[in-house]
Amino acid sequence: MLEIVSKIKDEFEAGLKAVSNSEELEALRIKFLGKKGALTDVLKSLKDMDAETKKQVGMEVNALKGEMEESLKANGKRLEEALYDMAMAASPKFDFTIPSEDNGGSLHPITIVQRRIEDIFKSMGFIIEDGIEIQTEYNNFEAVNIPKDHPARDMQDTYYLSNGQLLKTHTSAAQNYIMRKYGAPEPGKPLRVLFPGRCFRNENIDACHENTFFQMEGMMIGDDISISNLIYFMKVLLSEVFERDVKVRLRPGFFPFVEPGFELDINCLICGGEGCPTCKQSGWLELLPCGMIHPNVLRMGGIDPDKYTGFAFGLGLTRLAMMKYGIKDIRVLNSGNLKALKQFK
């Protein structure tokens, strides 16, 4: 019997040497230690042996069983490691500590200009607010003095949602919320807020029109705010952003939420004022509509128009980025074309 056990041992060791993957290893386990395995058979036959042989063979078989289990475990681990090494050798090599050649991503030109303007206004005491994109008709229109059936609603071709809400057509949609959030300012401490945001209008897309664009709205409300304050802030804004003198013109403009209202145009920086598709051949670009906040708008925002005045402006952020960087076609900005968008610093 002992001979048989030693033969099993040799066979097992030879088998183990030939194993090259975990399936083969499992087959080997079953062949020797499974329910009908070679060693299991010997164990089963122990009951028919006399006491002395039983003791001897039993000890041998148990020792061998332990050895086999140990070897199977060790080899399983070895095979697993080998498999991992093989996979690693076959995969491309990465060294995550090497800096990437082109420094990875880049900021979108609109983000760059937005942050620049936020910094300028923050340094002048403005708070930055965020406006939501899905708005109620009330906030987008009524609260800024554009009642139902007012022709001004047609100026902004609106995307309505099936639940009656809409995609905001201008950042002015946040005016009412902001007035209510901060309330009437303390004397000598005007409320100064800047609120950039993405806006949507159902426009036919061409070189100078997009259905998705960015605006940046600003508001200053206090007990002593006048048009001179408005003009001062607009001048600072433009000279800081363009870092050079730009020709501007101020003309009357109509917006139901300001009175008086202005259009501040800049000389087209793409063509130098000669006329091009970007400025619709006019040489000028409407960039900064603005004005003194209409008393109705203040009143709806919970601020007494007899005590307070304020100005608001709605900078065309997308246009400003185009002018700053000489981007001729607005479609580049939403294109996701990394080659084009990566150039801006």
Interacting residues toward ligand PHE by CB under 6 A:
170, 172, 215, 217, 255, 258, 261, 289-291, 312-314
Nearer to ligand PHE, 28 or 237 (CB): 237
Nearer to ligand PHE, 170 or 319 (CB): 170
- In this chain, which residue has its C-beta nearest to ligand PHE? 314
d(CA 155, CA 325): 28
Shortest separation between residue 312's beta carbon and ligand PHE, angstroms: 4
Q: Where are the alpha helices (DSSP H) in 96-196?
A: 109-122, 137-140, 152-155, 175-182
CA distances from 137 to 17, 140, 191, 195 (A): 79, 5, 25, 19
Token duo for residue 116 = 């620049």
Nearer to ligand PHE, 185 or 256 (CB): 256
Nearer to ligand PHE, 145 or 215 (CB): 215
Nearer to ligand PHE, 75 or 215 (CB): 215
Shortest separation between residue 216's beta carbon and ligand PHE, angstroms: 10
Strand order across the beta sheet in which 212-222 lies: 127-128, 191-200, 212-222, 309-316, 284-293, 258-267, 248-252
Name the DSSP class of 342.
T
Shortest separation between residue 213's beta carbon and ligand PHE, angstroms: 10
> Three-state DSSP class for 27?
helix
Nearer to ligand PHE, 85 or 157 (CB): 157
> Three-state DSSP class for 284?
strand
Shortest separation between residue 290's beta carbon and ligand PHE, angstroms: 5
206, β-bridge pairs:
209
286, β-bridge pairs:
265
Give, in degrees to the nearest 5, the angle at Cα 76 between 74 and 78.
70
Give, in degrees to the nearest 5, the angle at Cα 322 between 318 and 323.
120
Shortest separation between residue 275's beta carbon and ligand PHE, angstroms: 23
Token duo for residue 268 = 């087209």
